[in-house]
Amino acid sequence: MTDPRVCVVTGGAAGLGRAIATRFAAAGRTTVLVDRDKDACDATVAELRANGGEVAGFHVDVSDEDAVIDLAEALREGYGKVDVLVNNAGYATREGSVVEMTRKAWDVTIAVNLTGPFLMARYLVPLMPSGGVILNIGTIGAVHAVPGSDAYIAAKGGLIALSKAMALSLADRGIRVNAVNPGVVVTDEVARHLEHPRLQKMLERSRPIGRDFGTPGEFASVVEFLAGEGATFVNGAVINVDGGALC
């Protein structure tokens, strides 16, 4: 069964973005993956197409304004609209606190995690009809910080605030905007760092339901709901998908 909606997922080649794109494609939506890793993007697109999905991929760094402008034009020419935008692309520096990290690490982290979603919204909102949805992927660390990721937490905290502001500023266009914060969800990237002290700090708070980790599929199902017709009265919300870690 096909779905006429066009869904764009940044950082769609791996991890949570891949899980979200897989959900959208399986539901019959036209799904557009945006990722700066061309090889990974091409591989994910090929896999989803092999499973019957209507899927396309674009090699784009979301912090590059010219590249985002070109993407918006390609989407306008190819589809005429964008119904759902998931700003999932992220970059987490591991350089530590504000006195340990370099200015370059700070700038890159802010550029990808906060400026990128701004640019995607800036140039894709004109393509969105009434009923459109923007979902910004944050982190529970922006609500209850852990030490050692200051730039990332600052950027995601800004993204949560931006989501609330956009929910109001875009309401007259009929566009809903929400933020979704994952807790510890085991993607391939997270699996490589399970013993890191920062991750262990997060795990100490994430056991109310009797297990440490969520899965990408569990997170993607929440995103899928928020993008759908069942969530048309949800706007400006911040949804934590964390197993109760912030209770």
Give catalytic residue positions.
152
Report the residue count for the chain. Answer: 247
Q: Which spans in 27-64 are helix H? A: 38-50
Cα separation, 87 vs 81, whole angstroms = 17
The dihedrals phi and psi of 229, each to the nearest 5 degrees, come to -70, -20
Q: CA 193, 135, 175: angle at the middle one, nearest 5?
A: 175
Beta carbons within 8 Å of 217's beta carbon, 6+ residues apart: 19, 23
Look at residues 125, 127, 149, 126 and name the one whose alpha carbon lies nearest to residue 138: 149
| Range 105-110, long-range pairs (CB < 8 A, 24+ positions) | 105/151, 106/151, 108/63, 109/151, 109/152, 109/154, 109/155, 110/151, 110/154, 110/155, 110/158
d(CA 242, CA 203): 10
Query: Is the alpha carbon torsion for 45, 10, 121, 112 positive or negative?
Result: negative
Pairwise CA distance, residues 87 & 123, whole Å:
13
